[in-house]
Amino acid sequence: MKHITSIDALGREEVDKIVKGAREMIPYARQRSTPDQAKIEKKPKVCLLFLEPSTRTSGSYEEAARLLGWPTRIISGPESTSLAKKESFANTARMLAIQGAQIIVIRSREEGVSTFIAEVLERAGFSQISIQNAGDGAHEHPSQTLLDRLTILETLGRLKNFTFGFLGDLKYSRTVHSLLKTFTPEDNVRFRLVSCPETRLPDEYKRGLDVFESQSVEDLKDCDIVYVTRIQEERYSDPVELKRVKGRYRITLDVLERWKKDVKIMHPLPYVDEISPEIRFDPRLILDKQSWYGIPTRMYLLLWSQRNRFEKTVLSGFPEVEKKIIKEVNINEYLASRKKGERYFRPLRNGTVLDHLESGTAEKIERYLKTERVFREDSVIHSIENVPSQKLKRKDVLILENVFLPDRTLALISFIAPQTTFNIVRDNRIRKMKVEPPKEVYSQTSFLRCPNSHCVVNHDPEARPRFKILKKEGKEIVRCNYCEREFSREEVLRTI
């Protein structure tokens, strides 16, 4: 794996390999010495691009690079770059590559930035640069997850068969989201999630796990480890909502005494007021130990990137669109056989007719096609709206004279209007066909957007929306390629 952009992208097998490798770095981190595998003739140039405040992550990456003996450039805050002048992430990444960066570690407020710039650099020909995600908004924090797993392994001696509690802001905590993704039902880990209703964990992170949810800290009394998170104040745009959730949970000595005697308390830091000062140095709190494990973990992650940055990455193309031919006949025969009710349709000799569009969608599709630039000088668009239909009761029809649509466009139209029948008229023949539900949809323009306002698609002019269409528990899920958030079809269509 060349890039470390998310836990999903890594997969469980590689997560386990990295934790094992990080464990091997512990003696070097303690002795502040350089491992042999870092002593190479051509040392990679590391760039730490931190666009959000950071103490532990940036500091441990800096120390990790220093212990490896690799040259490191540190950029702290967007004001240190031309991003403050509204430069795009894409242009910033290309400039860092031109200036010699070979491993780029990035933290951002916007989600999906690391995945996006990895694609940008591949397309620009910078194929020997590795990208690491050091936290992107409320999405993920892969390196924190890896050091958390190392902490649990070093503390309990295992990563299976224990009771794991989470307390606090589970809605916006990217550390919680990433960590939960690394567990499977086979691990036999029992999860106890305690939060107020406004900060409960999104359902997508619970799937397949043994989860018990509550609003009471009493329900954490049987936990081997309790993972505490602060209220992510920077993620709240509504001050009233923030006031409602802030300060709801606080671990005091009284609370701690009601839990297991050997419970261990973890926290990704920084903490605000969720941990009482009276217990800060209680041996049951392993916050500092947990934070220190960031150094050996990130030493190994940098070694991982150096070893894998030469790996050839094949940029994913658009999947083949499956078409179902309904019939194909001579155009004159078809025109002669049309039903009386269809006589008002304009005859077409060359082009495409989109039939059985849900009423009200013709205008949206016409607008989309204009942004995609599929029309020629001799193209003519003719729309018929809100006419009777046996299938839909009312329908729209879009007639595209001298226009033939690429598969990517057919897939997006099918996503917008699943009942569409595509009529291709060419060489005096008409082919009627349906497009099978697409596995992926993509727009070359900003016509379609990600519903997540923090997604990079909504913040960089070069980022183009791309969604995978999945089935989970019998339901259709639309998943953004960048922020990896999951939506319903209706939520995505509302962005049009």
pLDDT (tens digit per residue) in 184-226: 999 999 999 999 888 889 888 888 899 999 999 999 999 999 9
Is the distance from CB of 483 to CB of 111 less than 8 angstroms? Answer: yes
Domain layout of the chain by residue ranges: 7-141+295-308, 143-286, 323-438, 441-493
- Kindly state the percentage of the chain with pLDDT values over 70: 95
Closest-CA residue to 140 (of 487, 482, 478): 482
Q: Within a 10 A sphere around the Cβ of 273, how many other Cβ atoms? A: 12
When pLDDT is averaged across residues 447-473 and rounded to a whole number, the result is: 92
- Please say if the pLDDT value at position 486 is more than 70: yes
When pLDDT is averaged across residues 51-55 and rounded to a whole number, the result is: 90
What CATH code is assigned to 143-286? 3.40.50.1370
Q: What CA–CA distance (Å, rounded) separates 417 from 197?
A: 36
When pLDDT is averaged across residues 300-309 and rounded to a whole number, the result is: 97
- Please say if the pLDDT value at position 242 is more than 50: yes
For residue 373, the model assigns a pLDDT of 77
Burial class (CB in 10 A: 0-12, 13-18, 19+), 358: middle
When pLDDT is averaged across residues 347-370 and rounded to a whole number, the result is: 89
- Please say if the pLDDT value at position 343 is more than 80: no
When pLDDT is averaged across residues 146-171 and rounded to a whole number, the result is: 96
- Please say if the pLDDT value at position 340 is more than 70: no
When pLDDT is averaged across residues 125-144 and rounded to a whole number, the result is: 93
- Please give the order of strands across the beta sheet that includes 103-108: 72-76, 46-50, 103-108, 130-136
Best CATH choice for the domain 441-493 from the list 2.40.50.140, 3.40.50.1820, 2.30.30.20, 3.30.428.10: 2.30.30.20
For residue 357, the model assigns a pLDDT of 93
Q: Within a 10 A sphere around the Cβ of 109, how many other Cβ atoms? A: 16
Tokens of 493: 């269509």
Q: Report residue 235's pLDDT band, with 50, 70 and 90 as the boundaries.
A: low
Per-residue burial over 215-237, b = 16 or more CB atoms within 10 Å of its CB, e = otherwise: eebebbbebbbbbbbbbbeebbe
Q: Check for a shared fold between 143-286 and 323-438.
A: no
For residue 344, the model assigns a pLDDT of 47
Q: What is the mean pLDDT of the chain?
A: 90
- Please say if the pLDDT value at position 245 is more than 80: no
- Please say if the pLDDT value at position 304 is more than 90: yes
Closest-CA residue to 354 (of 383, 325, 323, 320): 383
For residue 44, the model assigns a pLDDT of 97
When pLDDT is averaged across residues 263-287 and rounded to a whole number, the result is: 92
Helix, strand or coil for residue 295? Answer: helix
What CATH code is assigned to 7-141+295-308? 3.40.50.1370
pLDDT, tens digit, 9 for 90 and up, residues 71-125: 999 999 888 899 999 999 999 999 999 999 999 999 999 999 999 999 999 999 9
> For strand 103-108 and strand 46-50, is the pairing parallel, antiparallel, or unpaired?
parallel
For residue 270, the model assigns a pLDDT of 84
Best CATH choice for the domain 323-438 from the list 1.10.443.10, 3.30.1600.10, 3.40.50.720, 3.30.70.140: 3.30.70.140
Q: Report residue 342's pLDDT band, with 50, 70 and 90 as the boundaries.
A: low
Closest-CA residue to 394 (of 432, 344, 356): 356
